[in-house]
Amino acid sequence: MIHFAWPWIFIMLPLPYIVYRWMPLANKEQSPALWVPSLKPFNNATSAAPTTTRQWWKLALALLCWLLIVGAAARPQWLGQSVELPVVGRDLMMAVDLSGSMQIEDFQLNGNQIDRLTALKAVALSFIQQREGDRIGLILFGDQPYIQAPLTFDHATVMRLLQEAQIGLAGKSTAIGDAIGLAIKRLSHNKDNQKVLILLTDGVNNSGQLTPEKAAELAKKVGLKIYTIGIGADSMEVGSFIFKHTVNPSADLDEKTLKMLADTSGGKYFRAHDTSELADIYQQLDRMEPVEKDKNIYHPITDLYHWPLALATLLCLLWFILHQIQLYAGKSHE
């Protein structure tokens, strides 16, 4: 059906009559006059002058143009049939550790030894790409946390910003509590969506103002579910080509705190020793059930104002052409 976005503009329809009715007429006494001794030379010209009844088309065209202009100003629109749009999804924030320990090369990808951050990127980028319907944000943390990407449906931008992240960009230490606090600040005002934080780290909280315990309590209060992922292999050979010994590169990983964060907030703790386990963890996260909200009713709208506006322009042009023709005919008759 046809709908007018600004119907109140139709109150301007009687404006021409109001102007005609209340504006003062021109003073006829001051109209110019030509004094001649006789009217005989003007008898034919007078009889050829157009009468008032022959000017009806001017008034009709003018009124029609005004009606079309007012109608166009009221923004006529065509409303299509209503469409129900189910709204599903989550507000999902990813917090990625960029501390110095993330440069340890204890992961493998396609047969090549890579550092922890590179392995994280390889798996996380595919995960983000598949999160259709979720708003995703990105937090990078080290000494302090930073919002690298606010919550957005623009997953391509989030992926690019994660790809550009570098070790040490946010400092060498690990402020896990502050990273959770920043996520809470960004997600707490979203009351309808399911709020999820995926925290990826390979160390222990050794920086920042907010303790992990306090951060876990705040997350539980606002309904933020935290999924923690501990990254790092349990053993790695180091040394020269001849003399090698095995070390635990994840000795500093505070699994106890990560489990506490997940349990307190209603999430889950995962342990990723290699790239395949990390990919499996993301597959498990991908199966989280979204929260359905009330369906939105969408009416496709097509603006129609340009049609009456174009017709009014053509009628005004027609009025001008006919008026000029009439004037030329009158002069030719004289």
pLDDT in tens, 92-108: 899 999 988 888 887 88
Query: Residue 31 pLDDT more than 90?
Result: no
97 in the same domain as 70: no
Which whole number is the average pLDDT over 165-182? 89
Higher-confidence position of 21 and 164: 164
Quote the pLDDT of residue 124.
87
262 in the same domain as 155: yes
127 in the same domain as 247: yes
Quote the pLDDT of residue 48.
45
Examine residue 16 and state whether it is found in any structural domain, yes or no.
yes
> Helix-strand-coil percent breakdown of the chain, rounded to 5?
45, 20, 35
Which whole number is the average pLDDT over 50-56? 57
Q: What is the pTM of this model?
A: 0.60
202 in the same domain as 106: yes
* 329: confidence class by pLDDT, cuts 50, 70, 90: confident
CATH number at residue 267: 3.40.50.410
DSSP for 31-83, please give it. S-----S-SGGGHHHHHHSPPGGGGHHHHHHHHHHHHHHHHHHT-EEEE---E
207 in the same domain as 315: no
Whose CA is closest to 132, among 94, 160, 96, 90?
90
Query: Residue 194 pLDDT more than 50?
Result: yes
Which residues constitute the domain of residue 309?
2-23+55-81+299-333
Quote the pLDDT of residue 8.
92
Examine residue 136 and state whether it is found in any structural domain, yes or no.
yes
233 in the same domain as 138: yes
Tally of structural domains, the chain: 2
132 in the same domain as 77: no
251 in the same domain as 110: yes
Task: Specify the 3-state DSSP secondary structure of 24.
Answer: coil
9 Cβ neighbours under 8 A, 6+ residues apart = 70, 73, 74
What are φ and ψ of residue 84, in 5° steps?
-85, 125
Examine residue 8 and state whether it is found in any structural domain, yes or no.
yes
110 in the same domain as 215: yes
Examine residue 77 and state whether it is found in any structural domain, yes or no.
yes
Quote the pLDDT of residue 213.
93
Examine residue 35 and state whether it is found in any structural domain, yes or no.
no
Examine residue 276 and state whether it is found in any structural domain, yes or no.
yes
Quote the pLDDT of residue 84.
62
Which whole number is the average pLDDT over 194-223? 89
Examine residue 39 and state whether it is found in any structural domain, yes or no.
no
Task: Specify the 3-state DSSP secondary structure of 114.
Answer: strand
329 in the same domain as 241: no
* 325: confidence class by pLDDT, cuts 50, 70, 90: confident
Quote the pLDDT of residue 286.
77
Examine residue 31 and state whether it is found in any structural domain, yes or no.
no
162 in the same domain as 222: yes
The Cα 295–Cα 256 span in angstroms is: 41
Which whole number is the average pLDDT over 277-290? 78
188 in the same domain as 303: no
* 146: confidence class by pLDDT, cuts 50, 70, 90: very high
